[in-house]
Amino acid sequence: MKKLILFTLAVFLLAGCADEDEDADLVDRTLSGVQKIVTEITESVEKTLSKEKHGYGQGVITDDDNRPVGAVDFNDKFGKYDAYALNEGSDITLTFDEGYENGYTEKILDTLKEKKVSAVFFITGDYAEKNPELVKRMIAEGHTVGNHTMNHYSMPDLSAEEIKDELMQLHDYVKKHFAYEMTLMRPPMGEFSEFSLSQTKALGYKTVMWSFAYKDWLTDEQPDPAASKQKLIDAAHEGAVYLLHPVSSTNAEILGDVIDAIRAKGFKV
């Protein structure tokens, strides 16, 4: 609304200038003044945004459509920042957080290719630098590569400039080395603030959380495959965003069966 008011004001002032004597210098000064006002208001709004750190979790309570209430609430509260935990009205999306390589990503990619599934892989700067062939394969096989930041810092701990560095350093690296431009990001550890979400949006990114996740990241304490498979199947819901870790031997083992079972329940993956 404020931007609309300012735009209208600018148009009115410029129209007045043109009607009087089309003084180019006056027009320039008017535009400069409007831009100053916009900058001041933007800075004022940023100062009012909360920097309180939140650790996201979808919770265990679900609604009548089997959607975690925490994910629904996140969409309602933070959708204005292009941040979501559910793809409402959409298919089920499989996402993978790539912090480091543990030897299972290739098998996961093989399964996704066999099942004709397009997933999202959120990579860090370290992963991109150490695993270029896997990143190239992700892109070549039609998957989405997302930004998991350059150094995996907690976003709400950073200033606006630091947030920009964390996202854009990796953005530029991937664009340069893989000719690919990322548009989605996932904040490390799922930690965010209203301010960090707003800064992410200002950089042209959408923040993607999740509506399903489970304890799959401890490589020395992998969950039981049979129990995990049932857990993933039972959690299916429309618009679901699954967070899985490719360092998990369990995920690599059960992924194909999970995809088949979810599809058998009538969901699109």
Residues known to be catalytic: 97, 245
Distance CA 212, CA 85 (A): 9
Phi first, then psi, for residue 57 (nearest 5°) are: -155, 140
Distance CA 101, CA 106 (A): 10
Q: What is the DSSP letter of 69?
A: H
Letter string b/e over residues 1-16, b meaning 16 or more CB atoms within 10 A of that residue's CB = eeeeeeeeebeebbee
Helical segments of 157-224, H only: 160-178, 194-202
Asked if 114 and 138 touch (Cβ cutoff 8 Å), the reply is no
